[in-house]
Structure 1
């Protein structure tokens, strides 16, 4: 039987580095899954409610869409209107509108205000859909599919917040 040669002393450090990189990569993937925020929960009883669990960064998030284009909304009670990136605006067909300078926590930002045909909160078919909502464009945070959910949407709901969740119930 032929015997395999043992790795030379020159290749051992590289093998050790490759093993450590693989271990760190696997740990990252596992932790990313374990720490992922729970999804919003829709309950249809009594007119419906959407429960948004608090994310580990302290914010509330909900998947939704603008004119059918998927986005991940971060609830921003200090924002006047919904804001999306220019990439989402193009994909959603949000054209025209009026130019505006938004006053943000990071300073002034140029953008436009456009009316969206529909805005949905929650995973289809569960959740809520609003018609004719104004949307600000030009948002530049995180990835291009992230958006801010502002007061022009929140005013359509009774909002309650506790330590672990925000609950949205349609106003009657």
Structure 2
């Protein structure tokens, strides 16, 4: 019995590992404590099995051994050491008869139809869609003057918590809401989202693949 107890004491503990602890947020960098090491990570940088995905206020998104999670400043929690490789986040779109790419998606969990627009700097919404999605753009947004194809429009710059198309999920995405109920007619999936995916055209198809 004594030898069995000694053997058990020296067996490695499996199944639980310490999670990263966010100790400081320094602009676009974070300082974390993970598995006995203190790491400073810049946006998109990976060290010690941890990659910095995004920063918003006191919330940090990290990828740890292939799995993403959200951590708040000073928060510590345990994580399972059993990790599975995530499925590739990809979406293939076929052009419509006008050569445009459209897709269903969601903003902050609410459904929305998108038109892919590489000429749009950010995601763009009309005010009616924004209200339906629960975006209080007048209170939380920053007023901006926007130049459209035909005229100048008043708008509001806002931050979207979560944007999803297919199985591609991007957090903390910049958008503008135009102070117009009808323009744009369809939500524009602009470069604030598209810059964070790889785009490959092949014939009439457009393949989107999440970069990080």
* TM bracket, shorter-chain basis: 0.5 to 0.7
- In angstroms, what is the RMSD of aligned CA positions? 1.9
Q: Deviations over 1:24-53 (max 9, x none)?
A: xxxxxxxxxxxxxxxxxxxxx962310010
Contact 1:97/1:114 (<8 A) preserved:
yes
Distance (Å, rounded) in 2 between the aligned partners of 1:161 and 1:102: 29
| 2:158 aligned counterpart, secondary structure | strand
Partner of 2:191: 151
Whether 1:137 aligns to 2:180 is: no
Q: TM-score, normalised by structure 1?
A: 0.65
Distance (Å, rounded) in 2 between the aligned partners of 1:154 and 1:67: 17
Which of structure 1's runs of 4+ aligned residues deviate more than 3 A? none
**Unaligned 5+ runs, structure 1:** 1-44
- Residues 22-171 of structure 1: matches in 2 within 5 Å? 47-95=88-136, 96-122=140-166, 127-138=167-178, 140-142=183-185, 146-171=186-211
Distance (Å, rounded) in 2 between the aligned partners of 1:76 and 1:153: 10
**Unaligned 5+ runs, structure 2:** 1-85
Distance (Å, rounded) in 2 between the aligned partners of 1:101 and 1:171: 31
Q: Deviations over 1:41-90 (max 9, x none)?
A: xxxx9623100100111110111011122111111101000011111211
Compare the two structures and name the one with the higher helix fraction.
Answer: 1
Structure 1 or 2, whichever has the larger Rg, is 1
Contact 1:53/1:164 (<8 A) preserved:
yes
Number of matched pairs: 122
Partner of 1:31: none
Compare the two structures and name the one with the higher strand fraction.
Answer: 2
Q: Which has the higher contact order (CA 8 A, sep 6+)?
A: 1
Contact 1:49/1:168 (<8 A) preserved:
yes
Contact 1:94/1:115 (<8 A) preserved:
no
